[in-house]
Amino acid sequence: MSKMKSFILFILALLLVCHFPVEAGNHLWEPSHQSSLTHARWAHFDNHRRTSTSPWPNKLIPICYGNLEAERELGPYIKAAMDLWYAAGLPAEYKIQRAHHLKCVLERPDVLWVYIDPGAFFSSVGKEKPKENPRRGGPVAALHISHNQLGDPAANIAHELGHAWGLLHENHNPVFWAPNNFDKVFKFRCDHLADFDDKIMGLQQWEIWGHDGICRSSEAAMKAQFSAYQYLPIHDAVSKHGWYVTEDDVDWNSIMMLPSWVGGNHRGSPLFHLDGGLIGANLVPSAQDVEGIRHLYEYRLSYEAELLLNDPRAFEYSLFRQYAPGCGH
Ligand SMILES: [Zn+2]
């Protein structure tokens, strides 16, 4: 436990009350050659706030498939995806198991509903509470094997399972952004997002680029259902890391990292290294991805005090979910 206390970063993600399908985020960790005790960083939802999500009890995600086709098609990939997590170091006690059909019917809020949706690719972050989206009634994962975010079906689903366990995207960490959400360790090109042209139609410049514009504020982007919310920082997050981070503090190896080649339009990619270099896709979880999940499920009592920092808006938020960039919705 004391070792875990040396982890530097805590991000509290906040859940936006959304009434549209969203997806749970990616998230990154540092390469295993570095000490995970001194360089660990990750983003997961804040379990100590009155949020609308929570960790899964007993490190178990019970899943129900929407239909037989979903089970037949997605089942093997979900297993392969969990094997990627185990290979990266996630203990075997973390399990995803098919729930009894009665549980699926009678205990909907306590299961992850997995279904095929060729037009979307997203998952709830953690055990989303039903009040956040009464129509869904509980946590969901909309998956399909043709999604090409990472270029590999098992890797794509491993990324989504990272969300299902509770992880967010590395780039949601506000310490990686300069004031007013300008570039710091990433180079973000909002006008390169696939849905930029559609979303700015009819908007004034300040509604796009202003402090609360859809290219600057994750809340505004979320409200507009604009994919920028997958990139912009979640400022209702707390970091012990401080603001003195550099590119070296980013876990570029995380499976929760968004590679440059997804989510862009004819102008180019939306996210780069600060020097303009492309961010590659990671096909397996990193050591710090695993640490992030373990922190949420095993060490959450160790950081309660840190979570009580500056977060005036936190209680207004419920669940953060996100669309996967580059998906065909
Ligand atoms: Zn994601």
Q: What is the pLDDT of residues 65-79, one digit of tens each?
A: 999 999 999 999 999
Map residue 102 onto helix, strand or coil.
helix
Q: Please check whether residue 322 lies inside any domain of the structure.
A: no
| Per-residue pLDDT tens digits of the chain, which is 329 residues long | 333 333 333 333 323 222 233 333 322 222 222 223 333 456 666 655 546 788 899 999 999 999 999 999 999 999 999 999 999 999 999 999 999 999 999 999 999 999 998 888 889 988 988 887 788 889 999 998 887 778 899 999 999 999 999 888 888 888 899 988 999 999 999 999 999 999 999 999 999 999 999 999 999 998 999 999 999 997 655 444 567 888 888 899 999 889 998 899 999 999 999 999 999 999 999 998 998 899 888 875 544 333 322 232 222 222 233 322 332 22
Q: Please check whether residue 198 lies inside any domain of the structure.
A: yes
Give the angle 328-177-320 at the CA atoms, nearest 5°.
45
Quote the ligand 1 centre to 222 CA distance (angstroms).
14
Quote the ligand 1 centre to 258 CA distance (angstroms).
7
Task: Report d(CA 282, CA 258) in Å as an integer.
Answer: 9
Output b/e per residue, 256-277; b: 16+ Cβ within 10 A. bbbbbbbbbeeeebbbbbeeee
Quote the ligand 1 centre to 2 CA distance (angstroms).
30
Q: Please check whether residue 122 lies inside any domain of the structure.
A: yes
The beta-strand segments (E) located in 216-298 are: 271-273
Q: Please check whether residue 149 lies inside any domain of the structure.
A: yes
Q: Please check whether residue 324 lies inside any domain of the structure.
A: no
Write the CA distances from 246 to 44, 153, 175, 238, 243, integer angstroms.
Answer: 20, 32, 9, 17, 9
Domain range for 147 is 2-316
Q: Please check whether residue 321 lies inside any domain of the structure.
A: no
Q: Please check whether residue 323 lies inside any domain of the structure.
A: no
CATH no. for residue 258? 3.40.390.10
Give the angle 230-32-159 at the CA atoms, nearest 5°.
30
When divided into structural domains, the chain yields a total of 1
Q: Please check whether residue 329 lies inside any domain of the structure.
A: no
Among the residues of 88-204, which ranges form H helices?
101-106, 153-165, 196-199
Quote the ligand 1 centre to 102 CA distance (angstroms).
30
Quote the ligand 1 centre to 324 CA distance (angstroms).
5
Angle at which helices 153-165 and 68-87 cross, to 10°: 80
